[in-house]
């Protein structure tokens, strides 16, 4: 074999080996990179769902271009919510947002990660908070008539996230799965326990769910509220739900404020729940007091 042919053969072999090494290196490094990215996403998820220990990542190729991350959030392999992250540029810079979504489709939190805007920063942060508590599947502008480019960009991002969420093929969930797990059983249901307690559900070996309806005054008139009170077997408050379609008081930031109030009631012992409301009467005070009184109706019922 001539020297020229030997050199050509050597170069060919070296090329094949080099390509093979590159492919193998890529195969070995890709899982490591993916795991690093996943750990970063879990860390972000924990800023909204502090009990998160894992995430399941969805593909975003059919979502709006602004979507960076879309994932379900897991705790011990049980789905406890979703996160979506998106970013968008405008003429003043960039906005990047992370939202958390509860299993009932309600936005639990809106976090602004990047707010590279020269104006209206505080107004944009306030506008983001207006989305908390809204149903992401029935989204309307929380900031209709946006007065700045920044707020309009934020609204566009939230709309993109709504579309991305709707693209997730979700398995149907049972209404109280978040609190009792997917295998809970409703042992019994009793309607019209009292004039206001319209339904009592006994969750086998785990707790109780009471649905209460009552009318009361708020700053703009009178309306009815429905409360779903979720208790464990020892009457500890696990959750207080305010279904938006049955919430007859002011929506928007007022509704968000009331949602924040009911979150403070979690983990309280209903049997020792206060008898007297101690909050302020202005703003959402009337709505909060109505909910407080409704919970006390259940307390009276269980202490009979």
- Looking at residue 30, what is its pLDDT? 40
Residue 230 gets the label, from left (phi > 0), alpha (psi -120 to 50) or beta, of beta
Round the average pLDDT of the chain to a whole number and report it: 85
pLDDT (0 to 100) of residue 283 = 63
Write the DSSP assignment of 184-238 as a string of letters. --EEEEEE-SSSSEEEEEEETTTEEEEEEEEEEEETTEEEEEEEEEEEETT-BEE
- Describe the crossing of helices 253-263 and 285-302 by its angle, rounded to 10 degrees: 40
> Residue 28 — pLDDT band, cuts 50, 70, 90?
very low
pLDDT band of 136, cuts 50, 70, 90: very high
Most confident range, picked from 27-31, 63-67, 71-75: 63-67
Pair of tokens at residue 211: 């649905």
The pLDDT value recorded for residue 31 is 43
Min mean pLDDT across 10-19, 110-119, 122-131 is at 10-19
Q: Write out pLDDT tens, residues 195-236.
A: 999 999 999 999 999 999 999 888 777 889 999 999 999 999
Higher per-residue pLDDT: 84 or 282: 84
What confidence tens digit (pLDDT) does each residue in 148-183 have? 888 999 999 999 999 999 998 876 668 898 899 888
- The confidence band for 245, taking pLDDT boundaries of 50, 70 and 90, is confident
Q: Show the beta-strand stretches assigned E in the chain.
A: 54-57, 67-75, 78-90, 93-101, 107-116, 186-191, 197-203, 207-218, 221-232, 237-241
Higher-pLDDT residue of 79 and 95 is 95
Token output for 203: 């969750």
Strand order in the sheet with 197-203: 186-191, 197-203, 207-218, 221-232, 237-241
């Amino acid at each position: 074999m001539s020297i020229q042919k030997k050199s050509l053969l050597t170069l060919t072999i070296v090329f094949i080996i080099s390509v093979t090494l590159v492919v193998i290196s890529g195969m070995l490094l890709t899982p490591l990179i993916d795991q690093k990215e996943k750990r970063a996403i879990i860390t972000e998820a924990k800023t909204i769902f502090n009990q998160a220990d894992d995430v399941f990542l969805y593909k975003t190729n059919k979502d709006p271009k602004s979507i960076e991350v879309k994932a379900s959030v897991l705790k011990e392999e049980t789905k406890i919510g979703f996160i979506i992250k998106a970013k968008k540029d405008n003429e003043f810079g960039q906005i990047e947002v992370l939202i958390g979504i509860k299993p009932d489709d309600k936005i639990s939190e809106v976090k602004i990660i990047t707010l590279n805007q020269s104006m209206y920063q505080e107004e944009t942060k306030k506008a983001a908070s207006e989305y908390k508590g809204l149903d992401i599947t029935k989204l309307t502008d929380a900031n209709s008539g946006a007065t700045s480019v920044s707020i309009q960009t934020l609204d566009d991002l939230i709309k993109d996230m709504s579309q991305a969420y709707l693209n997730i093929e979700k398995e149907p969930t049972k209404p109280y799965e978040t609190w009792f797990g997917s295998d809970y059983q409703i042992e019994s249901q009793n309607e019209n326990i009292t004039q206001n307690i319209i339904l009592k559900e006994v969750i086998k070996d785990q707790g109780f769910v009471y649905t209460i309806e009552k009318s009361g005054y708020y700053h703009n008139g009178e309306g009815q509220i429905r409360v779903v009170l979720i208790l464990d077997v020892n009457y500890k408050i696990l959750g207080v739900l305010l279904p938006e379609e049955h919430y007859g008081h002011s929506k928007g930031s007022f509704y968000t404020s009331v949602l924040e109030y009911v979150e403070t009631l979690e983990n309280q012992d209903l049997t020792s729940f206060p008898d007297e409301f101690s909050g302020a009467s202005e703003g959402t005070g009337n709505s909060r007091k109505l909910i407080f009184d409704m919970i006390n109706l259940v307390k009276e019922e269980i202490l009979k």
